[in-house]
């Protein structure tokens, strides 16, 4: 149980939107109260959802476990795992090949070079600008944008909304219930999940108390690095998923 819960918590901690919100909060004029409100919002929402899930799902847990056992023991599962693994690796290979092809084309010799605005050919390169309506609509549904314009209350609301990513959170809750551990052990597992999963708010809180300027710089660099390397990170995760699926399928044959 502990290893599964820790695995889900680490994935939850690396959620990009939560990291972006934390970086935004650190850059605000009052970072500490905003970060604290964000963290408290995640704790309140996560604890409430975990408690509700453990109470409501407990009666249905035997059926869920039995259904999962029947599904995973079916003879068709290993070939399906292998097929999904091969598909994931093919997708990674295709995306990498396309990316390298675009890079090679962009530096190919003899390719026409656009002339900036006001150049000798009179060609004007003006990128299409999104309309004001689309920008406003995007900012209304973007948590980082809302937090940036908001207050401590908005940071708290963001914490409430970002506390429980469906796959990681409920996967951890099911693993805790299926363990059959005592009530105190299950509560400890939930606390561990929240402490690890919400570390993106806890670490800046502690570091800000010790070194506020350094903390702002580190969180900003982390956010920038994740944005620049989002595609390689995604491809690496997809490739690892493919390898694990193939290995699991071959092992189940």
Domain ranges in the chain are: 2-74+143-228
pLDDT, tens digit, for every residue of 176-211?
Answer: 887 878 888 989 999 999 999 998 888 888 888 888
Give the C-alpha separation, 35 to 17, whole Å: 15
Using CB atoms within 10 Å of the CB of residue 210, give its burial: 0 to 12 exposed, 13 to 18 middle, 19+ buried: exposed
Residue 81 pLDDT class (50, 70, 90 cuts): confident
Is pTM beyond 0.75 here?
A: no
pLDDT, tens digit, for every residue of 32-59?
Answer: 888 899 999 999 999 998 888 888 777 7
Of all residues in the chain, what percent carry a pLDDT higher than 90?
11
For residue 168, give Cα distances in angstroms to 13, 17, 24, 164: 10, 15, 24, 8
Predicted local distance difference test score (pLDDT) of residue 130? 44
Provide the sign of the torsion angle of the four alpha carbons 239, 88, 3, 79, taken in this order: negative
- CA 17 to chain centroid, in Å, comes to 6
Give the C-alpha separation, 238 to 230, whole Å: 12
Token representation of residue 108: 């190919």
Q: How many residues does the chain have?
A: 253
């Amino acid at each position: 149980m502990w290893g599964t819960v820790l695995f889900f918590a680490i994935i939850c901690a690396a959620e990009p939107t939560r990291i972006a919100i934390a970086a935004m909060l650190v850059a605000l004029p009052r970072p500490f109260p905003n970060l604290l409100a964000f963290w408290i919002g995640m704790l309140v929402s996560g604890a409430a959802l975990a408690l509700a899930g453990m109470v409501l799902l407990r009666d249905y847990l035997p059926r869920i476990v039995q259904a999962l056992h029947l599904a995973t023991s079916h003879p068709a599962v290993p070939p399906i795992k292998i097929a999904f693994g091969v598909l994931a690796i093919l997708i990674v290979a295709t995306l990498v090949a396309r990316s390298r092809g675009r890079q090679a084309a962009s530096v190919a010799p003899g390719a026409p070079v656009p002339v900036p605005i006001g150049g000798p050919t009179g060609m004007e390169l003006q990128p299409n600008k999104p309309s004001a309506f689309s920008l406003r609509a995007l900012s209304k549904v973007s948590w980082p944008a809302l937090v940036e314009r908001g207050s401590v209350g908005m940071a708290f609301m963001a914490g409430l909304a970002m506390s429980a990513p469906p796959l990681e959170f409920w996967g951890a809750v099911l693993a805790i219930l299926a363990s059959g551990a005592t009530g105190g052990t299950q509560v400890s597992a939930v606390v561990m999940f929240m402490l690890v999963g919400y570390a993106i708010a806890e670490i800046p809180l502690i570091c800000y108390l010790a070194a506020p300027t350094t903390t702002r710089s580190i969180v900003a660099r982390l956010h920038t690095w994740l944005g620049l390397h989002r595609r390689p990170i995604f491809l690496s995760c997809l490739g690892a998923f493919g390898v694990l699926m193939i290995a699991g399928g071959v092992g189940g044959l």
